[in-house]
Structures are given as C-alpha cells and as structure tokens.
Amino acid sequence: MALNASPDLDAIVQSLSLEEKASLLAGRDFWETVPIPSKGVPAIKTSDGPNGARGAEFVGGTRAACFPAAVCSAATWNPHLSRRIGNALAEETQSKGARVLLGPTMCNHRHPLGGRNFESFSEDPLLAGKLAAQVVNGLQEKGIAATIKHFAANEQETERLSVDEIISERALREIYMKPFEIAIKEANPWAVMTAYNKINGCHADAHDFLLKKVLRGEWGWKGLVMSDWGGTNSTAAALNAGLDLEMPGPTQHRQFKAIKDAIDNGELLEVTVDARVRNILELIEKVGAFEHPEIPPEKSIDNPEHRLLIREVAGQGLVLLKNTSNTLPLKRENLKGKKVALLGLAKEALIHGGGSASLNAHYRISPWDGMRSTYGEDVEFAFAKGAHTYRQLPPLSSHCTDSSGKPGWSLELFERGKPEKPVHTEYGYKEAAFNPIGGFDSKWKNVRLSTTFVPTETGQHYLASSGMGPTSITINDTLVFEQKGDIDDPMAFLLGGVAEKEFQYPFTQGVSYQITIRSSPPGGGDDHGGILAGLQGFRMGFMYRDEHNKDLVSQAVDIAKECDYAIVFTGHLPVWETEGQDQLSFHLPKEGSQDDLVEAVASVNSRTVVVNSTGVAVAMPWLSKVAGVIQAWFPGQEAGNAIADVISGAVNPSGRLPISWPKNIEDAPAYGNFPGTKKNGQLTVHYEEGVFVGYRHYDRIPQEKLQFPFGFGLSYTTFSFSNASVSPGSHGKFKSTVTVSNTGEQPGATVVQLYIGRIGASEKHPIKTLAAFQKVFVGIGQDQTVKLEVGHRDFAYFDEASGYWKVDEGRYWFSFGQSTSDIQARVEVTIGSGKHMTW
C-alpha cells in the first residue's frame, strides 16, 4: 500500500494480519513505534519531556532548550504564557525528529515530599488543568501530539511501580482526575499516558473505571492511551481496558503468541485489538506521518525567541516571599561601589529537576553569571560555597592504574555463571561508575571493575556505593561493601538520585590498594525487572577525609561580614529532587548544611536575601532572620538572568504560589499517609485526607501553621480590590467583576483569584474552592476592571451516593483575593430554588 496524505484507516486495519496488528501494539524501541512499510504504516518518534524536547539520549545527546519546570510556569498564573510554551515546545519537538511530546505532567501536589512535584503544576486542580490545557493547545496547533500524564494519581515516587493508592471516588474526581478532565475538555490532547501505580487495587494501565467508564465514556475522549515506560502489567486486561500502546519496545506483554493465546482462550476479542490498532493509526494520521513518514535526524536549534520566552516565563514565575524594609530591588544605580556576597549555590544553574525532565540544555545561566552580566563592573561580587550539597561522593578516578598499566580501571564483562573468561575487556576505563545508558551492552552480564589506587593522603577516607543489582567491593581482597539485593527503583539509579550510605576505610599515603567492584544485573535472573531487566549499573564514590569534613561555613561568614549585601542561593540539585524517589527531608540538603549557612550569614549581615530553587515547599527555620526571600523554582536555562532581573528590579515580581507552604511537615494534609505502609510486600497508601488537599486543608487549621498561603506573592508595588459584584448570566453562568487598583509606585501585575464557598462551615466541604483567576497588569495609580465568569460546575462537588456532581442550594461567598489568606472583597450569592442542581 502506498503512503498517502489521507489513508483509509479501516482498510489498513483490515489488511493487517493478526501478527502485524500485534506488532503495532508496542514500541519498536525506546522511543519509536513499529512501522509496517508493506502496509503503508510509518513509525513515529516520541520524546521526553515536560520542560523541553530532550531527544533520544538520556545523557548528553543533542542540545535542547530547557524551559521552566511546570511548577514555575504555574506560578505565573498566566495561561497565555502556557500556550506560548506549548508552541515553542512543538518547535523543539520537531527539531528532535519527534511528533509526540511526553508531557505535560499534571498530577497534583499531594505532599511536599513528592519527588516529581516540580514536573507538575499545582495542588489545585483548576489551576493545573487550565494551564496544562493551554500547553496542549500550543503543542497541537503546530501538529505535535501532547501526551498528558500520568493518568492518574501519580503523586509519589516511592515504590511507584507497584504502590496501591486507596482513594475515594469523590477525591479522585474532584482533585486527582479534575486537571485531566479540564485538559481533555478544553484542549482534546491526542494522547494520554497511564500511571505506574495502582488505584484501589488495580494498575492504572488496566483500570476500567479510569479508562473505559470515565476517560472514553463520560468524557467522550477519543485518542491514544499509552503506558508509562515499563508501565504495562498485563496482556488482555490492559488491552480490554483501553491501553492502546505499550511503551517502550521491544514488547514485554504483547508478543504475537500472547495476543493469539488471549484471543484463543476467550480473554480478548480481535475486534478489541482492531480498536487499539486503529487508535494508533489515528495518532499517526493526526501528526502527519502518513504524508511525511520520514524521521529526520535530531538538530540543536538555539532559537532566540525561545530564549526570550524562557526568560519571560521565569521572570513571571519567580515569587517574592519576603521583602523586609524594601530591601529589594537592588537597583544598579544604588549598588555602585558596593560589595555583594553571592553564596551557596550561586555558581550552580538549577534549571531543572532530575529524571524525564532533564536534558542537555543549550546553555545554563547560573546566578553568578546572571548577576555579573546585569550589574557589570559597577558592583564587586564575592563567592563562597558555604555548604556541602552533594548527594553522592564523586566516583573514584584519580591516582588509579588498571591491570595494563594505563591510568584508570579495568572493565570486564562476563556471561552469567561463567566468571572465568570475560566476553569484553576495556582498559583505561575512566571512573568507578558504570551506567548502561549510552554504554556497553551489559544486559544479563556480570561486571568486574578493578584498579590499583594510590592515595595522596593518609586517613580514614570516605566511600559509598550502590548498584542496580547485587554489588560488592573488596579492597586488598577484604570485603568492605555488599549490597545483596536489587535497588528499590533501578530507574532512580540511572537518573543519579540514589541515596548512598557512606563508610570509612583507613588508607596510607603512597601505599597501593587493589580495589575490585563486582556487580550482577537486577531482576533475579529473569524478566521481572521490566524494561530495565538485566541491565547493569553501579558506582563507588570516594572523598578524602579533609575534603569531606571541610568547614565551608566559616569562609562564607567571613565574606558576608565584609559585604554590603549577602545573597544566599539554596535549593535542590537534580539528584536531590528527581523522578524515581521522594524527598528525603522537608529540610534543604545536605544534613542541615544549607540551613546552617543561611543562619550563619544572616547573623553577621542584616541585609541577607535567600534565593531558593526547589520545586516544592521546604522548611525555612531562618525565615525571621533574613531580609528577603525569592522562590525561584527550576526556571530553565535562563535561570541566572531571570533571577537577576527580579533582584535588580528590571522585572517587578508577579509570581504567586501555586502551592501552599506549611511551616512544618507535620501540618501537611497527607502527613501520616505518605508514602504509605507495607504489608506482605505490598506498599499501600490511604488518601485519608480526601478532598482536603492543599489550601482546602490549611483553611481548616490555625493559620500560624502556614508559612505562606496558596496564591501568595509580593510585588515591588501594591494593589487593592474594590467594587466587587456578581450577577446571574446566561446558561447558568455567573458574571463577576472587581476593580484592581495599583496603589504603589511602580507598574506591576497581580492575580485576581475568585474563590467560592458556602456560608457556614461544613465538615464535608472545603471552606472555599478556586473557581476562576486572571493575571492583570496595572500601571501606576491606574484601575482596571476584571471580569470573571464561572459556572456551577466550577465549584460543584461529587456526590458518591447519587453518582452526580452537585451544587446544594443555599448562600455562598464569592471571594476575591490575592491569596487564600488575603481576601479583599466578597459578595454573597444565593443559589438554588429548593433542590439540588446535578450533572
């Protein structure tokens, strides 16, 4: 069959043999679908991810634009920017030869320790859904398929492949499915990716309620459902539920024999297979691959317009959390001849989190670079790191000699059960780390790495190790480390975020030590490891005692004393906040070092400002002692420039928190029910907080337990709201207006947030719910009227007993605020005429 622009998809399906149909139901390789050239079916390529199109390589690879993380984009509260991000991401995806982007990620922030929160927008389903919908629209209007993920309830990384989440139907519909519903109905994404986890006992990829009853039933969505990578857990069950495409390939569950056997024994109908195949063909058609079947080579295109957009989004996403005595902005003309300390992570460009969101950025602007570029020679800057922030000791590489006499290590691969003769040997191997991505074909092979190490210092030096599978280390034939089993999440190892326990070993300067690392593949010798079954990976870190125990704080304090201002940059390196595992602590890593740095600097310099780069709320025990705080999130490749824009006043901060920020982790709504409890090998987490997630919870507890409320953010100017009104509109809508006045001395922007809640407290319902919002830019001394329209469905609740969405009759507050704790105007509205309104 010849390729053509408008193929007859039904005819293609009818022309395929069952074996050909089965082949289409899973990927060809890690990123591409299976082609059948003889039947006119081309392959299409997918690409990570939510803040940039990385291309095929996990490490290195083709350079790409790094956009702000979704939580930073959400802090703009600006859907117009989200659509422009979608447009730019489409162009980036095309440059990588792909037609499907694996994003946006849009699960809710349930708990501050969620490892992948930064990849998602918000704790609030309306804000997340509205912004994600615009990213989808921006992608697809340029011909690139969006893949909204992970459907549904992927709110933790701990044992993410198997954790069972017990969630009420009301919480599922109001909180966890709601963002997806908004994106489905407002943007019609062409693809949906299922989550790894179980929901109420059933894996998401085979979940009839999620996929059949709601997604394709009630919501009427027609598109392609794909699994997360390695997230297919069955053959017939997943196909029957509606999972079209297993990724990646080669298949684990959709071999021709497995499909045929399922049909022969009555578990599966061929008509179901046909429906899945047709959805795959429809996606191929939507992205134009029948007309243009080629997959072009990847290109690195550093687009100046994308640079500007990234800087603009980051500038609007940064949130000013504290500004005592108007310490900020530090205008250039006022800093001439001054000295400013840039401390902590000032020379680190914290542009993205770890995992699928990571990429090889075109460039990375650190705060040090951005500040120096902004202020030029007018200001003297001084730097000190001030804190140990590494998560893993660096791999041992220096002063090592392999068995051939070359610098480095001897690497040997062995077939399992045959340790006598290596099947591959390499000399001069760089370091004590082995990662299968982009490396040797080590699948189902044992690995031995050996060297002669001659230390340059005497002492009890530090080592640490981990492996994807069983791993051991011997020094002079003495066992010093042994990991007997597989690592909990091999993907976390690949992405560089595994916590390792450090230990010490006595070394003597100038003495030779024979070090040997042995490692076996994970998966217990079978295919239970999923897509990573049999792959090898391990590492051994090393650090000299004096370097490990070096006092970095004193140097930073000495510099801060001499400076007019001290800016401390704190945050999470990608290995600390990453896919594959949840946060270790509510406090900044490592082991209090960053908190100690801020405390020490603030004690000697009253004009200390903290710039924090995390995707989540963190403890701020030093908050009362510093003059200013900026939450910078992960703002993309223009990070340093965007931070300098806000610090210098070139950009008036207008970011508002898309999350609530507790003072203590114990006050988080999911505390005690995260990440769950294990019984008989099954980790289960009960969502006992129900719908009281985020501000819905914090509204009900003493406000002194809240560090910063949802929607909060300061500006270099001030705003007030007045003249609020609400009137009935057509089709059951309410038309509301409020006047926003800029009462300060600079032009700026604020976010009008409309919350709706019943008058009179109810144990069953939130005090208020975000129903609409709009970002508005207002000049000095000017007023602007903001109009917001809402419908009953925007603040309805789901009644499990009846199976309907409802709005009870009664009196409601329509509250207009700049945060959940700063309600500046409200209007009483009576709803109903003696009965519930249902949908």
Task: Give the chain's domain count.
Answer: 4
**CATH, residue 330:** 3.40.50.1700
- Could you tell me the end-to-end alpha-carbon distance of the chain, in angstroms, rounded to an integer? 47
Per-residue confidence (pLDDT) for residue 356, from 0 to 100: 87
Burial status of residue 427 (CB atoms within 10 A of its CB: 0-12, 13-18, 19 or more): middle
Does 525 have pLDDT greater than 70? no
- Residue 38 DSSP symbol: G
Q: How many CB atoms lie within 10 A of CB 720?
A: 15
Q: Are the beta carbons of 560 and 543 closer than 8 angstroms? A: no
Does 295 fall in a domain?
no
Same domain, 88 and 172: yes
- Mean pLDDT of the residues in the chain: 95
Q: Percent of the chain, pLDDT > 90?
A: 89
* Residues 365 and 484 both lie in one domain: no
Residue 838 has what pLDDT?
A: 56
pLDDT surpassing 70 at residue 761: yes
Quote the crossing angle between the two packed helices 639-648 and 304-317, to the nearest 10°.
50
The packing angle between helices 304-317 and 79-95, to 10°, is 140
Residue 462 has pLDDT above 50, yes or no: yes
- Residue 228 annotated to the active site: yes
CATH of the domain at 827: 2.60.40.10
Q: 429 and 491: one domain?
A: yes
Task: Specify whether 259 is located in the same domain as 361.
Answer: no
pLDDT at 828 exceeding the cut of 60: yes
- Residue 24: phi and psi, rounded to 5, are -75, -15
Tell which of 492, 521, 542 closes a domain: 542
Strand ranges (E), 397-458: 400-401, 409-415, 424-429, 433-434, 445-453
Quick check: is 306 in a domain? no
Domain membership of residue 298 (yes or no) is no
Kindly state whether residues 534 and 683 are assigned to the same domain. Answer: no
Range 408-435 average pLDDT = 90
Q: 538-543 and 565-571: which strand pairing?
A: unpaired
Let me know whether 602 and 641 are in one domain.
yes
My answer on whether 52 and 98 are in the same domain is yes
The reply to whether 373 and 442 lie within a common domain is no
- This prediction has a pTM of 0.95
Task: Tell me the per-residue pLDDT of 166-195, one tens digit each, with 9 for 90 and over.
Answer: 999 999 999 999 999 999 999 999 999 999
Cα 378 off chain centre by: 38
**In a 3-state reduction of DSSP, which class is residue 499?**
coil
Question: Are 196 and 530 spatial neighbours (Cβ–Cβ below 8 Å)?
Answer: no
243 and 126 in a single domain? The answer is: yes
Residue 3: is its pLDDT beyond 50?
Answer: no
Residues 735 and 694 in one domain: no
Catalytic residue among 228, 244, 402, 595: 228
pLDDT band at 530 (very low <50, low <70, confident <90, very high): low
Q: Which of 672, 689, 708 is the last residue of a domain?
A: 708
Shared domain for 596 and 680, answered yes or no, is yes
Residue located via tokens 């000013």 = 320
Same domain, 740 and 771: yes
Mean pLDDT of 399-414: 96
Distance CA 406, CA 397 (A): 12
Span 668-697, pLDDT tens digits: 999 999 999 999 999 999 999 999 999 999
Give domain status of residue 324, yes or no: yes
Which of 519, 542, 565 is the endpoint of a domain?
542
Q: Is the pLDDT of residue 421 over 90?
A: no
The answer to whether the beta carbons of residues 369 and 390 sit under 8 Å apart is: no
- Whether 355 is in a domain gets the answer yes
pLDDT at res. 527: 39
| Paired strand residues for 720 | 741
Q: CATH no. for residue 430?
A: 2.60.120.260
Give the model confidence (pLDDT) of 335-363 as tens digits: 999 999 999 999 999 999 998 899 999 99
Instruction: Confirm whether 7 is domain-assigned.
Output: no
By residue range, what is the domain housing residue 333?
Answer: 315-391+550-708
With contact defined as beta carbons under 8 Å apart, do 315 and 642 qualify?
Answer: yes
1 pLDDT above the threshold of 90: no
Q: Give the pLDDT band of residue 5 (cuts 50, 70, 90).
A: low
Lowest mean pLDDT among 320-334, 513-527, 643-657: 513-527
Listing DSSP states for 162-222 in one string gives: T-EEE--HHHIIIIISHHHHHHHHHH--SEEEE-SSEETTEEGGG-IIIIIIIIIIIS---
CATH of the domain at 272: 3.20.20.300
C-alpha distance from residue 64 to each of 286, 365, 424, 693, 728 (Å)? 25, 14, 34, 35, 49
Q: Residue 578's pLDDT band (boundaries 50, 70, 90)?
A: very high
Closest CA to 435 of 454, 417, 459, 411: 411
Instruction: Tell me the mean pLDDT in the region 800-808.
Output: 95
Q: In this predicted structure, what is the pLDDT of residue 438? A: 53
Average pLDDT (421-437) is: 89
Cross-strand bridge partners of residue 610: 568, 629
